[in-house]
Amino acid sequence: MQFFGGSEISPSPPAPTASGNNANMMYVFNRNGVCLLYREWNRPLRTLNPQQDHKLMFGLLFSLKSLTAKMDPTIAEKGNLGVPQLPGQGCSFHSFRTNTYKLSFMETPSGIKLILVTHPRTGDLRESLKYIYNLYVEYVVKNPLYSPGTPIRSELFNTSLDQYVRSIA
Amino acid sequence: MAPAGPRSGDAIFASVERVNAELFTLTYGAIVRQLLTDLEEVEEVNKQLDQMGYNIGVRLVDEFLAKSNVSRCVDFKETAEVIAKVGFKMFLGVTASVTNWDAEGTCCSIVLEDNPLVDFVELPDTCQGLYYCNVLSGVIRGALEMVSMKTEVTWARDMLRGDDAFELQVKLLKQVPEEYPYKDDE
Amino acid sequence: MIGVGKVKQYSNVLDKPLSKGKQEVSLSAFAFLFSELVQYNQTQVDNIAELERRLEDAGYSVGARVLELLCHRDKGNRRETRLLGILSFVHSTVWKVLFGKVADSLEKGTEHEDEYMISEKELLVNRFISIPKDMGTFNCGAFVAGIVRGVLDGAGFPAVVTAHFVPIEGQQRPRTTILIKFAEEVLKREARLG
């Protein structure tokens, strides 16, 4: 999906560089809309408080999912717009691009939502999001001191995430 | 419908890190003993084991999804098969089978061929009401709830109580769609 | 089809042959079970010391049973009677059975005659852990310390056993050291045996 025209990106942020980190930020939500993780690498402009920001992002995804499923030309029977779906039901989108950023999205059947915002010219990040989901499983879910549904405070996860994101985006 | 994931957990079990089942069995035994001491009433212990299983299921489902590459769990029948064929194998290294489907396709039995929780276990007379493996029913309930299926899981047969197998009955109560979690004007 | 036929039935657990201990479960299955042990015990305590004590208790009952099992299976009911013998039994045999490897090191304390240390670069129970700052020096290794104490006690070597993180230079993750401080009687007996 592409918003705001074709490949002519303008005004364009600096092109991705080999060394720097071109990821802007990352969110992880659980199925209840709790923001388990917000990580920011490069986001100069901020006008919202964190709660509003998280809610807006979650709402954007929720609506987009519902819209993309509703517009699916390949499926005959589909519910009314706004009728809730099961995670993984129907079709799903995995990224969209604006002239200034690309948002990649993955949702698991357990309702975990991973959102990575990067430079608009970043390639397909679906495999990368799967990898990050695995990091989440290893360092968050299996941490005996982590209570599911609470914000992630794991050093181990944060450092591996930073390292990995630096290598991909 | 295309298969939603692998048909068997053998390959996954072979590829993941494993530990001696005895460490697992004995640790579980230590948990049960601790609960019997803390709670005294066998009925309370059953409840707590189920709750602990539920908590484990809530976590374990993500490991399961990440390692098995299952991308959706919408159909209950398919999901029950995946639990038995892939889930049990992948975590406990044992095979289970699904049987006794009711006409509506909302209730079935999962029968365990082997159960690493009960090695070395015999229920003493004072614990006859104990569902020693109650953690397992909780795990299934918790994991399914995370993929939007509300279920009721009960023991139909229990070898520690003299039956000829371990059999869990899994009943689908309802599938809960995802709701928008925030109120409009917060 | 159902597979029930494959389950051998024994009227009594004692009739069942003692397993050779070759069966395995996934490390995650253990990790999740252990997590729940920690989570449950967190609801039963007010402070970290108490939490460690309860994990140690749980470990103790595992240790006591591991000793029984290994004595029957591997040693024909022989038991170690000497200090170094039992220490190397813990460091090698017990570790291998429970954690799939011999412990990284076994050392004698330099300051105290009655202290020994078993160290592990990455102890199984600390593998996935991230300790929040407000939990200070908490160490899940208390469970393993309990196992060690259970084995030692069962074999007639009572000791105080504790788990500690020890930073390693140039490494992000500390190693875990299980510190064993033997009871006075043990050292006296050892001295008598010469």
* Alpha carbon A14 to its chain's center: 21
Tens of pLDDT, residue by residue over C6-47, are: 344 444 555 555 555 679 999 999 999 999 999 999 999 999
Based on C-alpha coordinates, what's the Rg of chain B? Answer: 17
What's the gap in Å between the CA of A146 and the closest CA on chain C?
A: 8
Q: Is C53 exposed, middle or buried (0-12, 13-18, 19+ CB in 10 A)?
A: middle
Q: Do B66 and A133 count as a contact with CB atoms less than 8 A apart?
A: yes
Which residue is listed with tokens 């809730």? A84
Q: What is the pLDDT of residue A18?
A: 44
Higher per-residue pLDDT: C187 or A89: C187
* CA–CA distances in Å: residue C60 to residues B20, C69, C95: 18, 14, 15
Q: C44 — contact with chain B (CB < 8 Å)?
A: yes
Give the gap in angstroms from C-alpha A5 to the nearest C-alpha of chain C: 45
pLDDT tens readout for residues A24-38: 999 999 988 999 999
Asked if residue B26 lies in contact with residue B111, where contact means CB atoms within 8 angstroms, the answer is no
Confidence (pLDDT) at A84 = 62
CATH of the domain at C92: 3.30.1380.20
Structural domains counted in chain C? 1
Q: Which whole-number Å values give the CA distances from C152 to A107, B100, C123, C156, C192, in the listed order?
A: 49, 49, 19, 6, 19
Q: Which domain holds residue C50?
A: 27-193
Of A11-20, A155-164, B128-137, C60-69, minimum mean pLDDT range: A11-20
Q: What is the pLDDT of residue C2?
A: 35
Mean pLDDT along residues B119-139:
90
Query: What pLDDT sits at residue C22?
Result: 73
Q: Report the chain A residue with the minimal C-alpha distance to residue B73.
A: A109
The answer to the question of residue C21 being in a domain is: no
Are residues B182 and A109, on separate chains, in Cβ contact within 8 Å? Answer: no
Residues B69, B6 contacting (CB under 8 angstroms): yes
pLDDT band at B55 (very low <50, low <70, confident <90, very high): very high
Cα Rg of chain C (Å, integer): 18
pLDDT at A6: 39
**pLDDT-above-70 percentage for chain B:** 95
Distance from CA of B79 to the nearest CA of A (A): 11
- Residues of B whose CB is below 8 A from C17: none
All structural domains of chain B with their residue ranges: 9-175
Provide CB contacts within 8 A for C25, sequence distance 6+: B18, B19, B21, B24, B91, B92, B93, B116
B45: three-class secondary structure by DSSP: helix
CA distance C136 to chain A (A): 13
Supply φ then ψ for residue C165, to 5 degrees: -85, 135
Question: Class of B9-175 per CATH?
Answer: alpha beta
Is B146 in contact with A111 (Cβ distance < 8 A)? yes
pLDDT (tens digit, 9 = 90+) per residue, B138-165?
Answer: 999 999 999 999 999 999 999 999 899 9
B181 touches chain A (CB under 8 A): yes
C10 domain residue, yes or no = no
State whether C26 and B13 contact (CB < 8 Å): yes
| ipTM of the complex, rounded to two decimals | 0.93
Q: Which of A32, A136, A137 faces B181 most closely, judged by CB atoms?
A: A32
Residue C2 lies in a domain: no
How many residues in total does chain C contain?
Answer: 194
For the cut 70, the answer to whether the pLDDT of residue A80 exceeds it is no
Tens-digit pLDDT profile for residues B102-112: 999 999 999 99
Question: For A130-153, what is the mean pLDDT?
Answer: 94
Contact status of A79 with chain B (Cβ, < 8 Å): no
Please tell me which residue of chain C has the smallest CA distance to A157. Answer: C130
CB-CB under 8 Å, C135 with A138: no
DSSP secondary structure, A22-48, as one string: -EEEEEEE-TT--EEEEEESS-----S
Q: Is A70 on the interface with B (CB under 8 A)?
A: no
Number of CB pairs, chain A paired with chain C, less than 8 A apart: 40
